[in-house]
Structure 1
Amino acid sequence: MANIIRWGIIGCGEVTEVKSGPGFQKAEGSQLVAVMRRNGELAADYARRHGVARWYDDADALINDPDVDAVYIATPPSTHKDYVLRCAAAGKPMLVEKPMALSHAESVDMVEACSAAQVPLFVAYYRRALPRFVKAKALIAEGAIGQVRFASVRLHRPPLASDRDPKLAWRIDPAISGGGHFFDMAGHQLDFLDDLFGPISAVQGFAGNQAGLYKAEDIVSGSFRFASGVQGVGQWCFSTGDSVDEIAIHGSEGILRLSCFDDSALRLENAEGARSIAIANPPHVHQPLIQSIVDQLRGLSRCSSDGASGARTAWVMDKLTGRLSD
């Protein structure tokens, strides 16, 4: 692979404006050279505003562009498998947005296709590389809370106005997103726990639709056990009157709490007392993960958020919602 990794984006929509797109331009050894959107006018507008040399309204044209070394697939999950298979056939490494696919079965197909083609596949669970989460992982590894016993995850909030907006509600349409807000958000939490403790080996869960605002589930609860011996519980509800966003890691000598979807300070409690550790997110939250991917493609280091880890998270979500049975 070249010293500079030249990227193309398929689906230059909202998520690429600030969170990810500029990261491909600012990461060391990286360059964004082409973008694609089905609406050519919007693709041209994005390219103009972001200083990108070329734009396309056809995905195959971008994938087969000889000046594109790797592809970022930033479309809804319903198209991920198709684009990944096309990139694999073209021999192009790719970063695919989360959720990785509509199901664990699709995720496995994607991993197998990339393995057969000997092409790297990465998944955009970018919290693995965000400084605040890296610090949390380091504190646990250093024994700040002793031996980890269990983790608890809570995410609940009131319904969103966008749930009734046809232009935005694709996230709660299982045919496009794979599920509801649980599939859109909980994967970040579960993937981070996978990064901390390794694969989850057993899962039990329940899903339901209590508010009846849309077809997808709006509540999921469950328990899980990691192969390492750590256990966990989770509760996700998207029709409550209050808002909670917390991952709590309980150890033999303390507890570490952190939020997943804002940059609130880490909260560490142990024999030394209680303290907060504030670490702000970078301007482009995908950039640290992008840097780790670029570094792997350049032969410098390894990125941990790959197709295998993404498929594991897909498996856990399918198990928690009952899409997969024993």
Structure 2
Amino acid sequence: MKMFQNHEVRWGVLGVGDVCERKSAPAMQKIKDSSLVAVMRRDGEKARDYARRHHVPKWYDQADDLINDPEVNAIYIATPPGSHLELARKVASAGKPVYVEKPMARNHQECLEMIRICEQAGVPLFVAYYRRTLPNFLKIKELVDSGAIGTVRHVQITMNQPRHPDVAEAGKNNWRIDPAIAGGGYFYDLGSHQLDFLDFLFGAVVEVRGMAANQAALYPTEDIVTAAFRFENGILGTGNWCFTASESAKSDMTVIVGDKGKISYPSFWDTYVLLEEDGQAPQRLTFEMPENIQFFLIESIVNELLGRGKCPSTGISAARTNWVMEEMTKNYYSE
């Protein structure tokens, strides 16, 4: 892009909450030709404290002030999904690239609007589905693409989690289980990562059959989802997500089944990949993660903005994930 020729990417962050302590924003200070120059939070004292602890030159308590800061030339929207569309509109209107947390928005329609306004403004739109750049997930893609397990037939996702410790009885003070802010519940927060990576592996999902419910009545959003889906290349998938299961049932596993073997992997609480090929001993492959889990994705954004690479996670790909989740849960939210 013209605005980045012979320059570095100078980031501003809207909403420096927990995700910015280690996962994301610190990486902006470590990547070549990248710097973090300003942060914003509505609570000015917290914004100032973050800036002090992370050695960021400037802080704000108003989004417009950071967006219009002439020293900021790219903006990371790290707020909950309910504000993504409004803030993306403001950032795009200022002519600055948009990097937004996942899920991309509360619903597919908001995603499409974000794509439209960024295209109209001529600015790129990236989304924080960082598994597309992590070494364990890239290894899975390499194995699938190389035919290590033959032709892929189907994929199975299983996630059973006990009630999350941050769930109050009335679901208060937790935006992740407030549909007006998050669009859905923990399924939207966690399942989105799993589904987006499968989009990266196999392409778009073109058909979905799903059912969602709220069985435990601990909060307003769905707490269980089961679904079947079909990718554009004909591969079939199934998924089961439960967020009020017993501790003994806790699991996080995706299995990709081919006609010559299978690949099994967790998406969250471990980083191994188990390869089982017909006639061979199983291989358990282990990987080290970067200190800042979004490092490689943010690096790919910097490289694209500076004309030396491409980011694999865009608004167009992320919008597809929102569509899939919406289809899987529409019976619950249309009641």
Deviations 1:201-257 (A, max 9, x none): 111100001111111100000011011111100000101102110111111110001
Deviations 1:271-302 (A, max 9, x none): 32201000021110001100011110011111
Q: Which residues in structure 2 correspond to 1:224-243 (within 5 Å)?
A: 224-241=229-246, 242-243=249-250
**Could you tell me how far 1:168 is from its partner in structure 2?**
4.7
- Tell me which amino acid in the other structure corresponds to 1:297: L
Which residue is equivalent to 2:199? 194
- Tell me which amino acid in the other structure corresponds to 1:194: D
Which residue is equivalent to 1:280? 288
Q: Is 2:74–2:98's contact at 8 Å kept on the other side of the alignment?
A: yes
Q: Is 1:12–1:74's contact at 8 Å kept on the other side of the alignment?
A: yes
Which residue is equivalent to 2:266? 259
Within the alignment, does 1:173 sit opposite 2:191 as a pair?
no
Q: Which residues in structure 2 correspond to 1:124-135 (within 5 Å)?
A: 124-135=128-139
Q: Distance in 2 between matches of 1:23 and 1:264?
A: 20
Deviations 1:181-214 (A, max 9, x none): 0011100000000000011111110000111111
Q: Distance in 1 between matches of 2:307 and 2:181?
A: 35
Within the alignment, does 1:17 sit opposite 2:21 as a pair?
yes
Q: What is the percent sequence identity of the aligned residues? A: 49
Which residue is equivalent to 1:123? 127
Within the alignment, does 1:203 sit opposite 2:211 as a pair?
no
Match of 1:8 among 12, 30, 38: 12
- Tell me which amino acid in the other structure corresponds to 2:308: L
- Tell me which amino acid in the other structure corresponds to 2:238: V
**Could you tell me how far 1:167 is from its partner in structure 2?**
6.5
Count, aligned residues: 325
Which residue is equivalent to 2:322? 314
Which residue is equivalent to 1:76? 80
Deviations 1:164-188 (A, max 9, x none): 1766521101011111100111000
List gaps (5 residues or longer) in structure 1.
none
What RMSD in Å do the two structures reach over aligned CA positions?
1.3
Q: Distance in 2 between matches of 1:311 and 1:171?
A: 19
Match of 1:216 among 210, 216, 221: 221
Q: Which residues in structure 2 correspond to 1:80-119 (within 5 Å)?
A: 80-119=84-123
Q: Distance in 1 between matches of 2:281 and 2:89?
A: 52
Give 3-state SS (helix, strand or coil) of 2:302's partner.
Answer: helix
Q: Runs of at least 4 residues of structure 1 off by over 2 A?
A: 165-168
Which residue is equivalent to 1:38? 42
Q: Which residues in structure 2 correspond to 1:41-80 (within 5 Å)?
A: 41-80=45-84
Q: Distance in 2 between matches of 1:225 and 1:27?
A: 38
**Could you tell me how far 1:262 is from its partner in structure 2?**
2.2
Q: Distance in 2 between matches of 1:299 and 1:249?
A: 35
- Tell me which amino acid in the other structure corresponds to 2:233: S
Q: So what's the TM-score if we normalise by structure 1?
A: 0.97
Q: Distance in 2 between matches of 1:21 and 1:302?
A: 20
- Tell me which amino acid in the other structure corresponds to 2:55: G
Q: Distance in 2 between matches of 1:280 and 1:229?
A: 33
List gaps (5 residues or longer) in structure 2.
none
Within the alignment, does 1:155 sit opposite 2:159 as a pair?
yes
Q: So what's the TM-score if we normalise by structure 2?
A: 0.95
- Tell me which amino acid in the other structure corresponds to 2:306: R
Deviations 1:83-138 (A, max 9, x none): 00001111100110011111001010000111111110000011001111111111
Match of 1:26 among 25, 30, 52: 30
Within the alignment, does 1:294 sit opposite 2:302 as a pair?
yes
Q: Is 1:150–1:251's contact at 8 Å kept on the other side of the alignment?
A: yes
Q: Distance in 2 between matches of 1:177 and 1:306?
A: 20
Worse-superposed segment, 315-324 or 213-222: 315-324
Q: Distance in 1 between matches of 2:281 and 2:221?
A: 43
Q: Is 2:136–2:271's contact at 8 Å kept on the other side of the alignment?
A: no
> 1:313–1:154: structure 2 CA closer, same or farther, 3 Å change rule?
same
